[in-house]
């Protein structure tokens, strides 16, 4: 087995952490907030560089961080985990977390929430300079009520973090390239394992195993399907046995080394069977869609203009369109998300592509009521002059 092509240049973790914390604080200053309280483990990691049980803490609020606009960053960690952040210079203090979600608080949840709120309110008092406006990314009702009762004004924190995370520096891009390299090696091994008789679950497991082997962390979905299970999209992989000639479509949603996301999609034909005319047609449309929309991405283009100029799907494929034309990507899928022209009035918003954004451009093509769908997706960096592709896994030339 070849040596994984990782760490072509070492990732400068201190520079990475300093840049990301600076981005958060710049947004806090712009909004005139005293600071931000972070619970989402992806936001905690972005702001502090510290990670612990990322998936578990996505649904158990047992770890959080207080980031003042000016002053010491305090990380509150899970029981006996304070040592995990030793030596991280962006964290000034680590304290044990006070958890009040019902699993940990039970009938004493309100009591624990009051204790928790008193500690957070004191930090706001000490480091807010009289400003009581605290941004929070996620908060439960007992905590919200307890903080408000202590005179803390709760502000929207997700906007702060999403806009901070949207612009990457060179070190972030290098870390993302590592994730893409690992993802594409995982895809190579998965494609080599694709033979008639393998189940969808068994094939998907190759992606997981390789990602972990190469230093990755987790995969956010299970979006791999075959044959008639590809249409409609958004079914997850199953015990279905993949047959010769089936279209196999997938979306990696992979969190790789350093916590960065590699979100790529491809569609393959299982076995040595010649593609059908319909498979060729769908694949050619998906190629045309993704190439047109990548070429359209450029600094300065507005989201509404992009939607207006994006590739037009045939009428019988339009009902099966994907949820977005493109979305941002960093430590996970993130701001911005640009929807189709048909969906803009209901679910779109204005904004502009700017250099330093990294986005994933999507293509999903299948006829309403048809047998199969083709899913393609590329990850690109918006530069001062256009875009640079970060992903390089080949398309299936025999299908185009």
Architecture in CATH of 13-164: 3-Layer(aba) Sandwich (3.40)
Tens digit of each residue's pLDDT (9 = 90 or more) over 205-259: 999 999 999 999 999 999 999 999 999 999 999 999 999 999 999 999 999 999 9
**Which residues fall within 8 angstroms of residue 116, CB to CB, at 6 or more apart?**
98, 99, 100, 143, 146
CATH domain 170-389 topology: Creatine Amidinohydrolase (3.90.230)
Tell me the C-alpha distance between 364 and 184, whole Å: 20
What DSSP character marks residue 275? P
Residue 308: per-residue pLDDT: 98
Residues belonging to the chain:
400
Domain boundaries, the chain: 13-164, 170-389
Report helix, strand or coil for 207: helix
Q: Can you read off the two tokens belonging to residue 388?
A: 């640079």
Sign of the C-alpha dihedral, residues 212, 214, 219, 225?
A: negative
Residue 399: per-residue pLDDT: 85
Report helix, strand or coil for 56: helix
SS (H, E, C) 217-246: CEECCCCEEEHHHHCCCCCCCCCCECCCCC
Write b or e for each residue in 338-360: b if 16 or more Cβ atoms lie within 10 A of its Cβ, otherwise e.
bbbeeebeeebeebebebbbbbb
Report helix, strand or coil for 111: helix
pLDDT in tens, the chain (400 residues): 444 444 456 899 999 999 999 999 999 999 999 999 999 999 999 999 999 999 999 999 999 999 999 999 999 999 999 999 999 999 999 999 999 999 999 999 999 999 999 999 999 999 999 999 999 999 999 999 999 999 999 999 999 999 999 999 999 999 999 999 999 999 999 999 999 999 999 999 999 999 999 999 999 999 999 999 999 999 999 999 999 999 999 999 999 999 999 999 999 999 999 999 999 999 999 999 999 999 999 999 999 999 999 999 999 999 999 999 999 999 999 999 999 999 999 999 999 999 999 999 999 999 999 999 999 999 999 999 999 999 999 999 888 6
């Amino acid at each position: 087995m070849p040596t994984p092509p990782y760490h072509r240049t070492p990732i400068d973790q201190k520079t990475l952490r300093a840049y990301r914390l600076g981005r958060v604080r710049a947004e806090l200053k712009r909004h005139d907030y005293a600071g931000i309280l972070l619970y989402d483990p992806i936001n905690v990691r972005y702001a502090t560089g510290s990670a612990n049980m990322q998936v578990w803490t996505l649904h158990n609020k047992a770890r959080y961080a207080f980031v003042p606009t000016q002053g010491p960053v305090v990380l509150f960690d899970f029981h006996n985990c304070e040592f995990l952040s030793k030596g991280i210079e962006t964290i000034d203090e680590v304290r044990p977390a006070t958890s009040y979600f019902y699993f940990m608080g039970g009938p004493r949840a309100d009591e624990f929430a009051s204790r928790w709120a008193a500690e957070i309110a004191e930090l706001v008092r000490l480091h807010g300079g009289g400003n009581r406006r605290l941004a929070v990314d996620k908060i439960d009702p007992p905590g919200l009520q307890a903080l408000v009762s202590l005179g803390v004004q709760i502000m929207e924190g997700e906007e702060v973090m999403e806009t901070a995370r949207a612009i990457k520096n060179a070190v972030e891009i290098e870390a993302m390239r590592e994730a893409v390299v690992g993802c594409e090696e995982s895809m190579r091994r998965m494609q080599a394992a694709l033979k008639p008789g393998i189940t969808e679950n068994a094939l998907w497991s190759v992606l997981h195993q390789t990602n972990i082997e190469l230093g990755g962390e987790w995969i956010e979905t299970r979006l791999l399907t075959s044959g008639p299970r590809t249409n409609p999209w958004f079914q997850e992989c199953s015990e279905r046995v993949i047959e010769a000639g089936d279209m196999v479509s997938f979306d990696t949603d992979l969190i790789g080394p350093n916590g960065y996301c590699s979100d790529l999609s491809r569609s393959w034909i299982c076995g040595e069977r010649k593609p059908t005319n319909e498979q060729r047609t769908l694949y050619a449309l998906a190629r045309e869609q993704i190439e047109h929309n990548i070429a359209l991405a450029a600094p300065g283009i507005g989201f509404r203009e992009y939607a207006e100029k994006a590739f037009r799907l045939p009428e019988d494929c339009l009902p099966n369109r994907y949820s977005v034309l493109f979305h941002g990507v960093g430590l996970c899928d993130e701001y911005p998300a640009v929807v189709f022209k048909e969906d803009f009035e209901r679910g779109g918003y204005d904004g502009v592509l700017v250099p330093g954004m990294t986005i994933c451009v999507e293509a999903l093509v299948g006829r309403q009521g048809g047998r199969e769908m083709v899913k393609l997706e590329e990850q690109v960096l918006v530069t001062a002059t256009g875009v640079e592709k970060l992903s390089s896994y080949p398309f299936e030339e025999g299908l185009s």
